[in-house]
Amino acid sequence: MDRRTFNKLTSFAALGALSRKSGLAAEYTSIRLEDDQPVSLRFFGSPSADLFTRELEESFQGVLRESFVGTASNGLPAGFVSASIPGRPWAGTMWTRDAGTFMRELVMRGYYEHAALLSECLMSLVEKNQEGFYSFPRYFKRSKQGSGTEFDGTAAIVIGMVLLWERLPSGNPTKDHIQAFLSQDSSPVNYFMSYLKTRPLVAGTGEFGCGMGIHGECCNVVQNDLTMLALLAAANMAEESTNASIAKRYRHVAAKVWNNMEKYLVDKEGCWIWCIDPKTLKPNPAVLDARVNRGFGGINGVASMYADVLGFQPLASSWKGVEHCEKTFLRLYNTPLRKLEFDRYGIWTQFDALAAGLMTGPSYGQGYALQTMLLYDKPAMTDKALFWLANATYNPIPEYKLQRESRWYFYERMYSPDAVGKIVLAEGCGPLNLVNVTEPLKVSRLLLGVDDSTLERISLIPRIPPSWKGVEARHWPIRTRHGIVRADILFERKGAGAELTLKLVPGQKIDDLKVRMPSANGYIWCEQKHASTVRWATQ
């Protein structure tokens, strides 16, 4: 489709009708999955570093092979990514929250063609809701189109699309499609804006509404945080598109959400409240005390999702939520059973009551906790939690009869040794469940520490745990004012200090690069202008 034809499509409804009529394969012939340039990410210096490296790579490739649909087949459209592998619960469904986070990880690893195909698939499947806006349902089942009124999956997809839009070159058809989709009057972003005209917070159902299996709508702290971040991401896109007035409007409403989170979703101890009733704007004790909600690790999502839009340095920001995030994290940690389990094994249990408080997973339990530990500079805790995740992935407790093709695959439900004989060790969605792959992938990015969330300055903040020696990345994509550059990065501990080298492809540069390095006197910052090949060493 040429640019003139595209510009005539003044509504995305027309674009959607065209794609449904001609088919994705015909419509998006410019997308070539084979053109994606693989990256390499290797952690080293301990057995758990080696394990984690291979688990990341095999799980990521396993999802691309088993769950990502490159060519339409068996009733699944091209770009569809299944929540679980065939034969497991929720196979053949694409949960929109998980699709958004997987798009995020595809983008941040430079798999732009895969991310573009997923984005096109999502845009072709979504329909308008009753309010007349494109808004995503909780999940899509095969090629059946649909819409929804929840903000959870929609916000995650908006963030993923903006990250992709920022990194695609001018003239790329998918970049144009994303801009048309997110800028039209009936866009998901304008759904947020319309809804929040008359309400202080967004309300939704499901796992990040009132809680898993709990009926009704609630104003959930994670869902509102995600909506706020999606509005800020959309503002970034508007600003880069030289539409300052729209960016200002988005930021104004995002600030409103933030202020109301502070007003209604913080308790007297300064911790986040999981959810409140949308009518009374008060907590419902029966909901908060439900077995699925007591101690639910998903509340750490407020801390961890900061990095998806705002960068890797919450502690250096003026964001008031930093204090609430840290207090919430510490209150969870100091719950007696969780503290006992973490101190003993390194497992961050995902619930207080469900599964007797002896289960976790690489996503909302161990994964969100690890991301919080990394962003909030808790290296000793990070060390323990990574040791557990790497070793429990490869070698679950013997009594757990987990069925999977590879011992390297991340899987949904992980159990403490203390769970044996107390609860049923159920597999659930099993290996390669999508969200339980995407969140460890994000953990690995936070460990490497490439922060290109702003074009003003690129930051490198390696957060390698004390028992590991270092990290090596090859061909890693970094967004700059000059477009995407590719970097080889090696960070290695040397006593109390470290050595870091960065080398770009010849002819590429980073205008302003800052690197945080450890030393005997704490962290120090090194800076290089017009960086192409650099080396720093500290003691």
Nearest Cα to Cα of residue 388 among 406, 404, 373, 377 = 373
C-alpha distances out from residue 2 to 17, 172, 452, 475, Å: 17, 11, 32, 32
Q: Which two tokens stand for residue 24?
A: 């994705």
User: Could you tell me what percent of the chain has a pLDDT over 90?
Assistant: 93
Residue 1 has pLDDT above 90, yes or no: no
Beta bridge partners of 499: 492, 537
Residues 202 and 161 in one domain: no
Residues 364 and 469 in one domain: no
Element of type H or E holding 372: helix 366-375
Tens-digit pLDDT profile for residues 134-182 = 999 999 999 999 999 889 999 999 999 999 999 999 999 999 999 999 9
Q: Which two tokens stand for residue 470?
A: 């270092």
Residues 436 and 334 in one domain: yes
Tens-digit pLDDT profile for residues 296-342 = 999 999 999 999 999 999 999 988 899 999 999 999 999 999 999 99
Residue 10 has pLDDT above 70, yes or no: no
Average pLDDT rounded to a whole number, residues 76-82: 97
Q: Which two tokens stand for residue 449?
A: 């520490």
* 340 within domain boundaries: yes
Average pLDDT, the chain: 94
Residues 443 and 514 in one domain: no
* 118 within domain boundaries: yes
Residues 444 and 334 in one domain: yes
With beta carbons less than 8 A apart as the criterion, state whether 247 and 235 touch: yes
* 191 within domain boundaries: no
Beta-strand runs (E) in 205-247: 219-220
Residue 409 has pLDDT above 80, yes or no: yes
Tens-digit pLDDT profile for residues 171-217 = 999 999 999 999 999 999 999 999 999 999 999 999 999 999 999 99
Tens-digit pLDDT profile for residues 431-479 = 999 999 999 999 999 999 999 999 999 999 999 999 999 999 999 999 9
Residues 146 and 122 in one domain: yes
* 464 within domain boundaries: yes
Residues 360 and 413 in one domain: yes
Boundary of a domain, candidates 132, 155, 184: 184
pLDDT at res. 25:
38
* 440 within domain boundaries: yes
Residues 76 and 178 in one domain: yes
CA dihedral sign, ordered 16, 24, 188, 296: positive
Strands 458-460, 510-517: pairing is parallel
User: Could you tell me what percent of the chain has a pLDDT over 70?
Assistant: 95
pLDDT at res. 30:
81
Cα–Cα dist 496/499, whole Å: 11
Quote the pTM value: 0.94
Boundary of a domain, candidates 159, 184, 209: 184
pLDDT at res. 533:
96
Tens-digit pLDDT profile for residues 13-61 = 344 433 432 333 335 668 999 999 999 999 999 999 999 999 999 999 9
pLDDT at res. 27:
52
Residues 87 and 167 in one domain: yes
Residues 205 and 92 in one domain: no
Q: How would you list the strands of the sheet with 533-537, edge to edge?
A: 40-44, 470-480, 483-494, 497-504, 533-537
Residue 514 has pLDDT above 60, yes or no: yes
Which domain, by its residues, includes 408? 35-66+325-448
Number of domains in the chain: 4
